[in-house]
Amino acid sequence: MDKDTPNRISPLAGQPATPAMLVDVPRLVSAYYSGLPDFSVAEQRVAFGTSGHRGSSLTNSFNEWHVLAISQAICDYRKRQGIDGPLFLGIDTHALSVPACASAVEVLAANGVELMLAENDGYNEYTPTPVISHAILAHNRGRTSGLADGIVITPSHNPPDDGGFKYNPPNGGPADTDVTEWIATQANAYLENGLEGVQRIPYAKALVAGTTHHYDFLNAYVNDLGRVIDMDVIRGASLRIGVDPLGGAGVHYWPAIAERYRLSLTVVNAVVDPTFRFMSVDWDGRIRMDPSSTYAMHRLIAMKDDYDIAFACDTDHDRHGIVTRSAGLLPPNHYLAVAIFYLFQQRPRWGRAAVGKTVVSSQIIDRVAAKLGLKLYEVPVGFKWFVNGLLDGSLGFGGEESAGASFLRLDGSVWTTDKDGIVPALLAAEITARLGRDPGVIYAELAREFGESLFERRDAPATPEEKRRLAQLAPAQVHSAMLAGEKITRILTHAPGNQAPIGGLKVVSGGGWFAARPSGTEDIYKIYAESFHGTDHLKLIFEEAQAIVSAALATPGESTTP
């Protein structure tokens, strides 16, 4: 079953994008410069979710004012924290990323920030999210001062009319909530005051400032890949590999990887087009570069028999999608389980590193970890929870149900502390080469041993007040003893790994579970569910999940968050 099977599937899902769907890029960019956010409208203020501030210039939720204000706020944060090393800046291929980059550079240069930009020669100008993390960590290794940080201008896999802006502090990973809240508060103050206090110089002057430098992100990252992936075993197996960058920031990285490591790797589509007209339409009839969606990945799935292994990454290349001959597109949970099963048996220098997963990831991972005698570190949704463990090597692997993951180098040291779509993709080739079976076959073997898992996510309506109460539920507010015919064994409002609030509720039984979390942007809550007893059991879990949540919301209880 697909990773994220929504409630209503568009009849256009999986079909080629039509001309009417394509974003008007000149209008989009014009709105970026001409639009003024209305501070009285919540959607038009700066708000950092799990992956930065996102929005569209067409709705005044992402425009020049936002980027100028956030950039100045980041400069203020750097001064406050004594961060005085270089700032590595990368962008993806969304239409709004280029003008947003120009705006950010104007502010960063005016503030005297040592700025590291990609080589601007038309070849190496886009920079994937994991490459920024890699650059930050490479610079900071062994240092106690002059530490680097970074900015990635990307809305990830979101539709073509979106823009996004995220900050990575010196630990190289996504900024923690206390950091993003400070930056957002400062940025909103600049918006409210008409950008008073924002320092800025013209773009042409900023590019030639003494503090602006060029950095060879591509070769620094590509040349280091052999320290995290066994490229020799891939090359030795002479695998035929297919890659679809989905028009994203890694489009020039894949040919460089193939050349550097002498791989038989074909980029099936090298087009960069900000309308993303080459995509097949996602579940809701919109263009979205999601490598874990069977609809968005329709073209590469159709090519599965042409390659021994194939894969894709989203627009900023921090998510992966694995296409096998045996199973087509692997659901993210399935591949995470396979990757963990393989890595912890093939990386002896990792020692007793733990397995990191989010509370809404598959229990197949729990069962694999138990079989291998590994410690499980279960955390709330968000890759930021894995950063410290990956940094100090106590976590060998961190993975999310949304197809985001990273893991340690071969020697057990840190690789990246942000999601890296490239290395899990290449790992699929390593697995196929070494074991002689693709990850789809490996997962089928795991399912025979641990049970066949069905996983799905759905949405349910919720008012803002219901969402607020859902985020603050206590276990005592759940009075049900049974879930889909089985005894409830655990009720969680805090993650077992770090006791951090999960911002909702998770209810577990012997053969299944559900988790409910409020959406940060819509009047809905998200229900994640998994069953090891088949389709009818999964359907029953969803039915009872809504009833359990509704009853809990109607029950007074102590707040679980401040």
Domain-embedded: residue 171: yes
The DSSP 8-state label assigned to residue 532 in this structure reads S
Are 517 and 422 found together in one domain? no
Give the CA distances from residue 322 to residues 128, 170, 292, 423, 534, in Å, rounded to whole numbers and listed in that order.
18, 31, 8, 12, 24
| CA dist., res. 425 & res. 419, Å (int) | 12
Are 104 and 202 found together in one domain? yes
Q: Which residues in 325-371 belong to E strands, given as ranges?
A: 328-329, 354-358
Please give the pLDDT value at position 557. Answer: 60
Q: Provide the CATH number for the domain around residue 141.
A: 3.40.120.10
Are 249 and 207 found together in one domain? no
Domain-embedded: residue 41: yes
- Write the CB contacts of 51 (distance below 8 Å, at least 6 apart in sequence): 156, 164, 166, 174
Please give the pLDDT value at position 460. Answer: 87
CB atoms within 10 A of CB 40: 8
Please give the pLDDT value at position 97. Answer: 97
Are 445 and 345 found together in one domain? yes
| Phi, then psi, of 48 in degrees rounded to 5 | -95, 120
Are 411 and 536 found together in one domain? no
Q: Which of 178, 198, 220 is the last residue of a domain?
A: 220
Domain-embedded: residue 562: no
Are 235 and 104 found together in one domain? no
Q: How many residues does the chain have?
A: 562
Burial of 375 per CB tally in 10 Å (0-12, 13-18, 19+): middle
| CA dist., res. 151 & res. 73, Å (int) | 12
| CA dist., res. 538 & res. 543, Å (int) | 9
For this structure, is 402 an active site residue? Answer: no
Query: Residues of the chain whose pLDDT is less than 50?
Result: 1-5, 121-123, 559-562
Please give the pLDDT value at position 224. Answer: 98
Amino acid at 288: R
180-199 pLDDT, tens per residue?
999 999 999 999 999 999 99
Domain-embedded: residue 8: no
Token pair belonging to 132 = 């920024």
Token pair belonging to 372 = 């291998």
Q: Which of 191, 220, 249 is the last residue of a domain?
A: 220
Number of domains in the chain: 3
Domain-embedded: residue 10: no
Q: Which residues in 284-375 belong to E strands, given as ranges?
A: 309-313, 320-324, 328-329, 354-358
| CA dist., res. 339 & res. 453, Å (int) | 16
Identify which of 92, 121, 102, 127 has the alpha carbon closest to the alpha carbon of residue 29. Answer: 102
CB atoms within 10 A of CB 186: 20
Domain-embedded: residue 330: yes
| CA dist., res. 392 & res. 375, Å (int) | 16
Q: In what order do the strands lie in the sheet with 376-379?
A: 376-379, 354-358, 395-400, 404-407
Q: Provide the CATH number for the domain around residue 483.
A: 3.30.310.50
Are 547 and 438 found together in one domain? no
Catalytic residue among 57, 71, 97, 156: 156
Domain-embedded: residue 11: no
Pair 198, 109: CB distance under 8 Å: no
Are 377 and 491 found together in one domain? no
Are 263 and 377 found together in one domain? yes
Q: Which domain holds residue 410?
A: 223-450
Please give the pLDDT value at position 123. Answer: 45
Q: Give Dmax over CA atoms of the chain in angstroms.
A: 68
Are 214 and 252 found together in one domain? no
| CA dist., res. 421 & res. 321, Å (int) | 8
Please give the pLDDT value at position 488. Answer: 97
Please give the pLDDT value at position 119. Answer: 79
Please give the pLDDT value at position 120. Answer: 63
Q: Which of 220, 246, 269 is the last residue of a domain?
A: 220
* Reported pTM: 0.95
Are 296 and 431 found together in one domain? yes
Are 335 and 465 found together in one domain? no
Domain-embedded: residue 158: yes
Please give the pLDDT value at position 519. Answer: 80
